[in-house]
């Protein structure tokens, strides 16, 4: 197989069953190839997986030690092209539990299709992870939110214009029509909020609006999302969370407010380097929240 070649050969014309079977076999084979590459270099089976968003890469380097894989070296894996996403998979120990940590993610706005965006989540599940902790930098929609605030996701709305499960159904990953009435685990949310209170962090529960990006939102868009009941907005999280829930994983979403400049009357433009600075400032607190959740709940 060519690296990153996502083309799938169909069966005979009009034979939809052959097409589906070929597609599923192709994808499963890719996942096995990537997983086997990893397993040849480590015996650790992760209890949980963590995806680190913009500016949070340093969190893993200070807490997880065992083996590191560059995304570029993993068969069938795709590298992130965004500053602040190192593109490393780390497997080791955190809070006395086995974990796999992704330093950086793939985004829909980078030009990847949804199948590529959720491939890492499917890989993490195939490696053994039953819990997925997703972190992300976000913009504030709710006016009470300020820079550096931490938001534990209780729900989301998908405005990306695409669903990660659209297209062929792979029975290997779960139901064709998976229930999404509780995407983000109530127990994990409670544990994260409790940890945040102990750290005296400004932390809230909130509803996440997912947009495709890469442009930041206009003031009119922010007003519209606020009226719809959203508290914060970002360009990731939802594809990963949906894919994880389809596979039966427990999901926790932890976001930090990296900008409020989409609000009407803002005097400063949003710059990506400023987002990374906020991430660096909150990474220690988010790391402690994640460690507490892993230690006390998993």
Using the predicted structure, report yes or no on whether residue 281 has a pLDDT greater than 90: no
Look at 188 and 273; give whichever has higher pLDDT. 188
Split at pLDDT 50, 70, 90, the class of 2 is very low
For the cut 90, the answer to whether the pLDDT of residue 86 exceeds it is: no
Per-residue confidence band for 269, with pLDDT thresholds at 50, 70 and 90: low
Among 105, 114, 197, CA closest to 162: 114
Q: Using the predicted structure, report yes or no on whether residue 169 has a pLDDT greater than 70.
A: yes
User: Which residues contact residue 117 at a Cβ distance below 8 angstroms, ignoring those fewer than 6 apart?
Assistant: 105, 106, 107, 108, 164, 239, 240
Does the pLDDT value for residue 266 go beyond 60? no
Residues 6 or more apart in contact with residue 102 via CB below 8 angstroms: 49, 50, 51, 52, 88, 89, 120, 124
Let me know if 251 is exposed, middle or buried by CB neighbors in 10 A (0-12, 13-18, 19+): buried
Residue 168's pLDDT band (boundaries 50, 70, 90)?
A: confident
Domains of the chain: 16-296 (3.40.50.1580)
Catalytic residues: 54, 85, 107, 109-110, 137, 235-236, 259, 272
Task: Name the phi and psi angles at 55, rounded to 5.
Answer: 80, 0
Question: Would you state the structure tokens that stand for residue 232, as one six-digit string?
Answer: 């914060």
Give the pLDDT band (50/70/90) at residue 6.
Answer: very low
User: Which residue in 155, 161, 163, 69 sits closest to 120, CA to CA?
Assistant: 69
Note the pLDDT tens digit of each residue in 26-70.
888 999 999 999 999 999 999 999 998 755 655 555 556 678 999
Contacts of 112 (CB under 8 A, 6+ apart): 78, 106
Q: What is the pTM of this model?
A: 0.86
High-pLDDT (> 70) share of the chain, %: 78
At residue 143 the predicted structure's pLDDT band, cuts being 50, 70 and 90, is very high
The average confidence (pLDDT) of the chain is 84
The single residue listed with the structure tokens 């509803």 is 207
Task: Give the model's pLDDT for residue 10.
Answer: 39
Per-residue pLDDT of 195-240, as tens digits, reads 999 999 999 999 999 999 899 899 999 999 999 999 999 999 999 9
């Amino acid at each position: 197989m060519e690296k990153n070649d996502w083309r799938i050969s169909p069966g005979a014309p009009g034979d939809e069953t052959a097409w589906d079977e070929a597609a599923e076999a192709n994808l499963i084979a890719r996942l096995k190839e990537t997983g086997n590459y990893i397993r040849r270099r480590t015996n650790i089976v992760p209890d949980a997986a963590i995806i680190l968003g913009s500016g949070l890469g340093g969190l893993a380097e200070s807490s997880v030690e065992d083996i590191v894989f560059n995304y570029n070296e993993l068969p069938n894996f795709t590298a992130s092209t965004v500053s602040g996403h190192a593109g490393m998979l780390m497997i080791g120990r955190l809070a006395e539990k086995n974990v796999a940590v992704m330093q950086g993610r793939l985004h829909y706005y980078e030009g990847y299709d949804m199948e590529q965006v959720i491939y890492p989540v499917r890989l993490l599940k195939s490696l053994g992870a039953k819990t997925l902790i997703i972190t992300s930098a976000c913009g504030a929609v709710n006016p009470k939110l300020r820079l550096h605030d931490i938001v534990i996701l209780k729900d989301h709305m998908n405005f990306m214009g695409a669903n990660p499960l659209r297209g062929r159904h792979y029975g290997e990953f779960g139901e064709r029509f998976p229930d999404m009435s509780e995407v983000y685990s109530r127990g994990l949310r409670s544990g994260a909020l409790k940890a945040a209170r102990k750290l005296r962090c400004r932390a809230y529960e909130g509803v996440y609006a997912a947009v495709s990006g890469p442009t930041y939102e206009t003031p009119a868009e922010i007003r519209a999302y606020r009226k719809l009941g959203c508290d914060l907005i970002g360009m990731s999280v939802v594809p990963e969370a949906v894919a994880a829930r389809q596979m039966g994983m427990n999901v926790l979403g932890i976001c930090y407010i990296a900008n409020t400049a989409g609000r009407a009357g803002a005097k400063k433009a949003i710059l990506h380097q400023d987002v990374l600075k906020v991430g660096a400032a909150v990474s220690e607190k988010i790391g402690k929240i994640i460690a507490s959740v892993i230690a006390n709940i998993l």
